[in-house]
Amino acid sequence: MFTGPLQALVDELGRLPGIGPKSAQRIAFHLLKVAPEDAMRLAEAIVDVKERITLCPRCFNVAEGDLCAICSDDRRDGTMLCVVEDPRDIVAVEKTQEFRGRYHVLHGALNPLEGVGPDQLRVKELLGRLDDEAITEIILCTNPNLEGEATAMYLARLLKPLGLSVTRIASGLPVGGDLEYADELTLGRALEGRREVDA
The answer to whether 186 contacts other proteins (rule: CB under 8 A) is yes
Rank residues 67 and 116 by Cβ distance to other proteins and give the closer one. 116
* Piece of the chain touching other proteins by CB under 8 A; list 77-85, 94-102, 132-140, 152-160: 152-160
The answer to whether 108 contacts other proteins (rule: CB under 8 A) is no
To other proteins, the closest distance from the beta carbon of 125 in angstroms equals 17
**Are 27 and 19 spatial neighbours (Cβ–Cβ below 8 Å)?**
yes
Q: Is the dihedral of CA 91, 92, 94, 95 positive or negative?
A: positive
Within 158-177, which residues bind other proteins (CB under 8 A)?
174, 176-177
**Are 56 and 67 spatial neighbours (Cβ–Cβ below 8 Å)?**
yes
What residues contact residue 55 under an 8 Å CB cut-off, 6+ apart? 61, 62, 63
The answer to whether 183 contacts other proteins (rule: CB under 8 A) is yes
The answer to whether 110 contacts other proteins (rule: CB under 8 A) is yes
Q: Are strands 101-105 and 165-168 parallel, antiparallel or unpaired?
A: unpaired
Backbone angles phi, psi at 101, to 5 degrees: -90, -160
To other proteins, the closest distance from the beta carbon of 119 in angstroms equals 8
Q: Report the distance separating Cα 130 and Cα 179, nearest Å.
A: 41
> What are the residues binding other proteins (CB under 8 A)?
18, 110, 112-118, 120, 144-146, 149-151, 153-154, 157, 174, 176-177, 181-186, 188
